[in-house]
Structure 1
Amino acid sequence: MPQLSRRAFASALPLGLIGGSLLGVLGESAARAATQEAAKAPVAVTPFAQIRIGRFTVTALTDGYADMPYDYFPGRSAPEVEGAASAQFTARPSGVRFLFNQYLVEDGERRILIDAGAAGSIGQTGRLPQALAELGLQPDKIDAVIVTHMHQDHMGGLVLGGKNNYPGAELYIDRRDIAHWTDPVKRNGAPDYLQTSFRMAEEVVRLYPRLQAIDGEREIMRGVSIVDLTGHTPGHIGVRVEDGGKSMIMVSDMIFPVVHPAATDVFFLFEQDRAAAKAMRDRFFPRAASEGALIAATHMPFPGLGRVVADHGEMRWQVADWALQD
């Protein structure tokens, strides 16, 4: 797999994905091949974890992983990032280990999937359908998909193979992201490593007639609402699940391993507006710490659940004691 250049939640199961870990950008046929190969790789378990938020069952699933090169974090040198990753046991020879966590929200009536994974377009991904199958679900049983933003690792599973893979689902995406990722002028001026996201965005719009372009914060259904987290992309959103006096916020790419939440001045190569991303993190992290909010984060170690806490004036990530929550 070619290296990406700057140009161009009651059951706790261990992560058992085995395989290579170089980050790559793939064409459609290569993405299919990568997904097929990933499915053949030996797997100890298909990891999932569940928590209850009032009437909701939230299940954490994973599409796989990729290792992000140490120089993909503007604001710190590669050796600094590697040192921090080593101290946190997320360092790999080719970079920082990123998970691709997705979250299934169910209330007995509707099933809502938050993001659809990279589907083989990055690293060792493409396991979300298998994870759903372990729950006895096929993609056509999903009622809605909320796409937190239109980067390839959050929507690739929607359009793998050039088809609508969630035919029974309504799709919710922020209007600002749709406008950005389907703008030919922006695509023409974008670096090579973003071209797959632009292509997938066009496919999503073409293949999903039930796509709803949403504006800002709104309720999708009782207890499931959109949180505006713009910055990482123009229409980057989170999802709050709330019922019975409990809540969880899925914050997508607000938090990256190693660098966040301690440092808001460290970015990720794919972020379009670093000033806006920093400003949002500067606002969100102290608020989350003050509220003690339970957070789900796409790229943190599985199942991606934790809290932002203030420790002697510094923000840090505290893994949630999720398995003992009641």
Structure 2
Amino acid sequence: MTQLSRRAFAGGLPLGLFGGGLLGSGLIGGGLLPLITGTPGLAASPAVANVTPLAQIKVGRFTVTALTDGYADMPYTYFPGRTAAQVEQAAVAQFVARPSGVRFLFNQFLIEDGDRKILLDTGPAGSIGQTGALPKALAAVGLRRDQIDAVIVTHMHQDHLGGLVVGGQANYPNADVFIDRRDIAYWTDPAKRSGAPDYLQPSFQMSAEVVRLYPRLQAIDGQREIARGISIVDLTGHTPGHIGVRIADSGQSLIMVSDMVFPVVHPGATDVGFLFEQDRLAAKTMRDRFFPLAASEGALIASTHMAFPGLGRIVSDRGQLGWQVADWALQT
């Protein structure tokens, strides 16, 4: 196997995102170790359809592995705040335009500390686009789904919890499942379901199945620590109980922000939303608050839908916010 190297991220920066303010306090840093098999890059044709991309980053004692369940192309009309033509033009400029829309990845993140194996989200599991690859990705790192100790669901949209239940069965039978109480209340409310558009019905259905099939489900109330060094961050807006997950140890940290950041439109324009958002004003308010702070403090971020492995930083160039992919490379 290819010998891999560690590249240090910037360290020693004050991080006020995670404590008494919006998110907390600590330092950032880590080393990303690419573990890519086959041809690097996005599986855009059958010739590379069997690629299983993996990437690891060390955050103190934690090993965080970026996995992916696959991809889908989101119609250009799914981004309220911009016309379809504007979104397509931006997607072309960023090389993520496809005939049917913007190419979206579904990234998941595995956290290991030598004791527990915690998975952040489970992907759409074949219910959207070309997905269902997460079990194969887990197998590539030597894991079965019954070896996962906990699953943290950032919110109850189908592309984040779909893999929990497939074929009426609990796919992670030994896992404690953590979901924000506000999302559980919203997505299991019959009145909300009856008034929801068709494209949200799968999320309501899957949410009901998760609640039924996971008796060890734990409803989260606000910001709390799930395990030593793994804490919940409140990022409400995209859904009522939309959360992030902060991993921190030995002066290093990483925050998984889920659907706070979408490709093409973010972080440059906080006024652009996404069709599936339940409260677009609240989502915009959270982005207005989070993006500049993350840029000023150099926060290392993991995102569900950005190009694999979904790791990067929000940076500011003369007042214009942009996404900078985290630096990593094979040892020469």
Judge same fold: TM > 0.5, yes or no.
yes
- 1:143: Cα distance to partner? 0.3
Q: Which residue of 2 aligns with 1:194?
A: 200
Q: TM-score normalised to the size of structure 2?
A: 0.87
Q: Which residue of 2 aligns with 1:253?
A: 259
2:132 to 126, 146, 152: 126
Q: Which residue of 2 aligns with 1:239?
A: 245
1:192 and 1:302 map into 2 onto residues whose CA distance is 29
1:308 to 309, 314, 321: 314
2:308 and 2:42 map into 1 onto residues whose CA distance is 11
Checking the alignment, whether the CA contact within 8 Å between 1:164 and 1:208 is kept in structure 2 is: yes
SS at match of 1:278: helix
Checking the alignment, whether the CA contact within 8 Å between 1:305 and 1:322 is kept in structure 2 is: no
2:174 to 156, 159, 168: 168
User: Which amino acid in the other structure matches residue 103 of structure 1?
Assistant: F
2:321 and 2:48 map into 1 onto residues whose CA distance is 38
| Structure-to-structure mapping, 1:146-225, within 5 angstroms | 146-225=152-231
2:73 and 2:221 map into 1 onto residues whose CA distance is 33
Checking the alignment, whether the CA contact within 8 Å between 1:51 and 1:323 is kept in structure 2 is: no
| Higher share in helix | 1
2:42 and 2:314 map into 1 onto residues whose CA distance is 27
User: Which amino acid in the other structure matches residue 17 of structure 1?
Assistant: A
1:10 to 33, 53, 65: 33
1:215 and 1:226 map into 2 onto residues whose CA distance is 10
User: Which amino acid in the other structure matches residue 194 of structure 1?
Assistant: L
1:70-96 deviation digits (Å, cap 9, x = unpaired): 010000000000000000001001100
Q: Which residue of 2 aligns with 1:266?
A: 272
| Structure-to-structure mapping, 1:84-95, within 5 angstroms | 84-95=90-101
Checking the alignment, whether the CA contact within 8 Å between 1:12 and 1:323 is kept in structure 2 is: no
Q: Which residue of 1 aligns with 2:85?
A: 79
Aligned CA-pair RMSD: 1.5
Change (3 A) 1:44 1:55: same
Identity of aligned residues (%): 75
1:180-230 deviation digits (Å, cap 9, x = unpaired): 000000000000000000000000000000000001110000110001000
Q: TM-score normalised to the size of structure 1?
A: 0.89
How many residue pairs match? The answer is 297
Q: Which residue of 1 aligns with 2:282?
A: 276
Unmatched tracts of structure 2, length 5 or more: 1-31
Quick check: 1:320 aligned with 2:326? yes
Unmatched tracts of structure 1, length 5 or more: 1-8, 21-40
Q: Which residue of 2 aligns with 1:34?
A: none
Checking the alignment, whether the CA contact within 8 Å between 1:172 and 1:214 is kept in structure 2 is: yes
SS at match of 1:166: coil
- 1:15: Cα distance to partner? 3.5
- 1:44: Cα distance to partner? 4.2
